[in-house]
Amino acid sequence: MSAYAAKGKAFERDMRYVPDRITREDGRSQDPHVGTLDVPTWPVEPGRYRLVAARACPWANRAIIVRTLLGLENVVSLGLAGPTHDQRSWRFDLDPGGVDPVLRYERLEQAYLARDPSYDRGVTVPAMVDVPTRSLVTNDFPAITHDLFFEWRDHHRPDAPDLWPDECREEMDEVMEKVFTEVNNGVYRCGFARTQEAYGAAYDRLWSAMDWLEERLTDRRYLMGDRITEADVRLFTTLARFDAVYHGHFKCNRNKLSEMPVLWAYARDLFQTPGFGETIDFDQIKQHYYVVHEDINPTGIVPKGPDESGWHAPHGRERLGSPQARRSA
């Protein structure tokens, strides 16, 4: 899924994903900012597709959260891979017999090879799989959550949140781009740096963005104001892993998330919102990073901490805005 740039040994993420999309109309997105797509498209059809994810992975965690917030649990089924994988593939080792009960696969790789027998890139989650053919549709993680909102609207829960409000779309796109490049990917840039110089540059970029977020969220409840949007989902999955993994394992250790008053309260606010906290499994998260990344943690020892109880402490951010997008558990 990732590669290292030759110059300076800095981390670069391989963003070459299978580009297919699932749309309401053939070749045309329901997002007015997108219009006609120039990639292969598949029809929206309840029950046809299976979202394969892993609770350990932040990119897959996004899709799990969005599916839950929009009420698509009975429309798009969910398959969960275990927290660790080898060089070949994520495995369905959480299921009885180590086999996904719907796809009847032991490895997600099998769905990729059913789509393209010569596929030779990373087998990544999240992935949308066509159940009738048991083959991959797409693993383009930003497009998956985008399309769950725009293309599956006819099947959303009646009180589903507006995760992509049009009135702030331009600013939201800019915020999400900064969150992705500087924070979501920024922690990996620190963790996988191969020289002191590359690490130092990555570290400075990350903490500049974290300070920017701390300031931005001082007087607004969520990134775009008084309601939860896709931007919050994308930031949350990194914050949820910060103290448990990124602070130590990825050497993002200027301070802990729990030592940043605003960001820590913001993260707890989201964690306590139905659809967010229940998707987090700290044990699986730690197993994934500390076991899979043998080059960073050759002993494979998984830390026992940190204490998770703080996530349930009062956050006090109700005073900043309406709790839109909340629902009863």
| Catalytic status, residue 188 | yes
Question: Taking each helix axis from N to C terminus, what angle separates 58-69 and 141-150, rounded to the nearest 10 degrees?
Answer: 0
Closest by Cα among 239, 240, 222 to 231: 222
Residues of the binding site: 90
The CATH number of domain 2-155 is 3.40.30.10: yes
The 10s digit of each residue's pLDDT in 81-130 is 999 998 889 999 999 999 999 999 999 999 999 999 999 999 999 999 99
Residue 3 has pLDDT above 80, yes or no: no
Instruction: Check 112, 188, 199, 290 and give the catalytic one.
Output: 188
55, two tokens: 């609770």
| 117, 86 contact by CB (below 8 A) | no
The span from the CA of 224 to the CA of 216, in Å, is 9
The span from the CA of 181 to the CA of 212, in Å, is 14
Query: Strand, coil or helix: what is 274?
Result: coil
> If residue 78 lies in a helix (H) or strand (E), which one and from where to where?
strand 77-80
> If residue 128 lies in a helix (H) or strand (E), which one and from where to where?
strand 127-130
The span from the CA of 291 to the CA of 305, in Å, is 15
Over residues 293-310, the mean pLDDT reads 97
- Can you give the residue ranges of every domain in the chain? 2-155, 166-320
The 10s digit of each residue's pLDDT in 120-131 is 999 999 999 999
Cα distances (Å, whole numbers) of residue 53 to 219, 258, 319: 34, 27, 35
139's CB contacts (< 8 A; 6+ apart) are 17, 18, 112, 124, 125, 126, 127, 128
Query: What CATH number was assigned to the domain covering residues 166-320?
Result: 1.20.1050.10
Over residues 206-215, the mean pLDDT reads 98
Residue 325 has pLDDT above 70, yes or no: no
The 10s digit of each residue's pLDDT in 123-166 is 999 999 999 999 999 999 999 999 999 999 999 999 999 999 99
Instruction: Check 57, 222, 266, 289 and give the catalytic one.
Output: 57
Phi-psi region of 85 (alpha: psi -120 to 50; beta: other; left: phi over 0): beta
Residues of the binding site for glutathione: 90
| 286, 245 contact by CB (below 8 A) | yes
Please report where in the chains the tokens 């998956």 appear, as a residue.
Answer: 144
Over residues 60-71, the mean pLDDT reads 98
| Catalytic status, residue 57 | yes
Over residues 209-235, the mean pLDDT reads 98
